[in-house]
Structure 1
Amino acid sequence: MTKPRIHVLALGGTIATRPDAAGAMQMGLGADDLVAAVPTLGKIAEIEAETVSRVGSHSLSFDQIHALASRIRALEADGIVVTQGTDTLEETGFLLDLLLDLDVPVVVTAAMRNPALTSPDGPGNLLAAVRVATDPWVRTHAKALGVMAVMLDEVYAAADVLKVHPTRINAFASTQTGPLAALVEDRVVPLSLPVRDAIVTARRRLGNTVPGKASPVALLWMALDEPGGLVEAMLAAPDRLGYRGAVIAAMGGGHTPERATDILVRLAAAMPAVVSPRAGGGPLLEKTYGGPSSEIALRKAGLIWGGRLHPLKARVLLETCLRAGLDRPAIIDVFAAWN
């Protein structure tokens, strides 16, 4: 029986570190090193290993992920596994999900424990990712599942997964939806299929997006008694400090401090400004509360409602929309599908 062909693309991150002379962990391992550390891989798949970069995910760029998506589209394989750092996996995985619409599984994985520690999780996560990419149920439902993240024997939808702890080995979760599948022994146990309507809407609007000009998006966190001084600085600058859009991590179901509301309304007139829940997820309110900083007033004033998207993912989506040249009505349509 022919084994599935799995292409492993390595970007760097904790999974690919090794100690320097002083004992500090540095980027250095490539895809071949990662594969060699898991001899079992050859029993379940034909592995092709490719080192894309040796960069920590905290230093990755939108341009690099667009280039990675182009590379993935060009591959002839039965499944793709991307290894990277955990710092931005929730963002890069979501961006890949927006850019890729493939009939084969695409899995992103990483490690929380570096290779110098006792029981590093990188080899186990890589093995689990390859098992997922070769699994018959996953391959049958690859398009419906979209890009997946595999960490600690659980499978998550890239659109939903979050890094919920900075250091623990169980740092990833899909707090709104739960995992899509779990790995038990050598099996992938299906649990659910994700709701993909919002991704489908975004892809339809984005079309066959080619990597365009970078479109920086500011991330503005609302908090107790926030006066909005950073927004004032953006509005005062002729070039808006280089930003083309903004995501506002709002309180509760979509509220901002009253003292900052007028400034945020002016920001929305100057550039696309998306409201997203600082709580990290869950559909926003649309028509419950009144008052100048309520969801009713903010929506009426022109702020774009980001729905259940975490602010980090809302920023990824807005940057992708702007890079693709979408106008304001199209951007509103894309985000409306998330609420």
Structure 2
Amino acid sequence: MGRRVAVFSLGGTIAMTGGPAGGVVPTLTAADLVAAVPALATTGVTLDVHDFRRLPGASLGFDDLLALVTAAGREVAGGADGVVVTQGTDTIEETSYALDLLWPYDAPLVVTGAMRNPTLAGADGPANLLAAVTVAAAPASRRIGCLVVLGDEIHAARWVRKTHTTAPAAFRSPDIGPVGLVAEGRARVLARPARHPLDLQVRDPGAVRTAVLPVVLGDDGATLRRAGSGLDGLVVAGFGVGHVPAATVAVLGELAAGMPVVLASRVGAGPVLTATYGFPGSESDLLSRGLVAAGTLDCYKARVLLHLLLAAGADRDRIATAFGTIGAGEVAGD
């Protein structure tokens, strides 16, 4: 029996055409996207298309993702071998990681999009959709959660980042690189990240307020104090391996006494350390004041994890345990 893949379109550049007021806007349906790729008919994969949202990537939210997981889960329960999600690239590094944490199934969930809209020469959407379907249909893609496929590279949602505003090859996984590739119509999975789906019931993510706040040169903590007063949880993006100006230390300690505060790095690659430096504002100083280390999670993915944990009612101890496990960043078999 042939493979079956469900395709959910959420909008984004891949689905954009010229709008009445100038500029491009999301107008194409899931069926339109599939029809633009004749080669899909030669793969032997049956496609079930779903026009799920028609939004720019920047307007997607956690509620959209929860609804998507529910709908995609029904497709898998009904026999789909995998799921493809097309969306705007603006938020793929965050949405894909949220989906990875929320997706409990063995079937692959593959996110793709486009850097060049269909009105431009060299639009990359059709090739990316073909590659994504190939990956979603491949048995080798099972049991590794959510994957991001663009430019014939397979990235783990856990690691991938958008690293350029306009370049076609905008997506990279700075710490480990791609976990696979598509070549000659075949998905080749070369590494298998360990899975950590949340074993928690996420209730109302819209009721939770979290933020990422970077420290900056000359920071005195006033912005942190003002912003933190209206939050349920905070990710502070520190310098380097997790350092902040000494003037912010007392504020961060006060905030951590009242809500979960996660210490990440604003660098975008590499781990937050825990016990190397000892000066005021160092990583060891901040952790002793109750902050939680993000490990190898960058600040944006750390915020996604924190937000979902809080929306599931996790307390500080459960949050610290989750970051200790997930932030380690191991691959399967380690």
The alignment yields a C-alpha RMSD, in angstroms, of 1.4
Report the CA distance between 1:42 and its aligned residue: 2.3
Structure 1 alignment gaps of length 5 or more: none
How much has 1:209 moved relative to structure 2? 3.5
Show the counterpart of 1:289.
277
C-alpha separation between the residues in 2 aligned to 1:270 and 1:328?
Answer: 10
Letter in 2 for 1:167: T
Q: Which structure 2 segments of 5+ residues have no match?
A: 329-334
Structure 2 partner of 1:58: 58
CA contact (8 A) 2:233 2:260 kept: yes
Residue of structure 2 in register with 1:181 after alignment:
180
CA distance in 2: counterparts of 1:175 and 1:249, whole angstroms? 17
Q: Which of these residues, 95, 103, 107, is aligned with residue 92 of structure 1? A: 95
Give 1:328's aligned amino acid.
R
Q: In the alignment, what sits opposite 1:17?
A: 16
Counterpart of 2:169?
170
Report the Cα distance in structure 2 between the residues aligned to 1:148 and 1:211, rounded to whole angstroms: 25
Q: Quote how far apart the aligned CAs of 1:216 are.
A: 1.4
Write the distance in 1 (CA, Å) between the matches of 2:218 and 2:118: 44
The answer to whether the aligner puts 1:224 opposite 2:229 as a matched pair is no
The aligned counterpart of 1:42 is 41
Match of 2:112 among 98, 106, 109: 109
Q: Which runs of 4+ in 1 moved over 6 A?
A: none
- Answering whether residue 237 of structure 2 is matched by residue 261 of structure 1, we say no
Aligned to 1:146: 145
Does the Cα contact within 8 Å between 2:62 and 2:205 map onto a contact in 1? no
Instruction: Report the CA distance between 1:234 and its aligned residue.
Output: 3.5
Residue of 307, 319, 327 corresponding to 1:319: 307
**TM-score, L = length of structure 1:** 0.92
Structure 2 counterparts to residues 236-247 of structure 1, below 5 A: 240-241=229-230, 243-247=231-235
**Deviation at 1:224?**
1.3
Instruction: Check conservation: 2:112, 2:128, Cα contact below 8 A.
Output: yes
| TM-score calculated relative to the size of structure 2 | 0.93
C-alpha distance in 2, partners of 1:324/1:136?
32
Q: Is the 8 A contact 1:66 1:211 kept in 2?
A: no
Q: Which amino acid aligns with 2:116?
A: R
Give the aligned residue type for 1:230: T
Secondary structure of 2:262's match? strand
Distance in 2, Cα, partners of 1:263 & 1:107? 41
Q: Percent identity?
A: 42
Where 2:88 maps in the other structure, the secondary structure is: coil
Structure 1 window deviating more from structure 2 (92-101 vs 288-297): it is 288-297
Q: Is the 8 A contact 1:5 1:46 kept in 2?
A: yes
Deviations 1:100-133 (A, max 9, x none): 1212111000000000000100000000000111
Deviation at residue 185 of structure 1 after TM alignment: 2.0
Give distance in 2, aligned partners of 1:187 and 1:155.
12
Equivalent residue pairs, number: 323
1:205-248 deviations in whole A, cap 9, x for unaligned?
A: x2x4445553110211112111222222245xxxx33x211000
1:251 aligns with 2:232: no
Residue identity matched to 2:29? G
Q: 1:234 to 1:223 in 2, by over 3 A?
A: closer
State how far apart, in whole Å, the 1-side matches of 2:264 and 2:3 are.
40
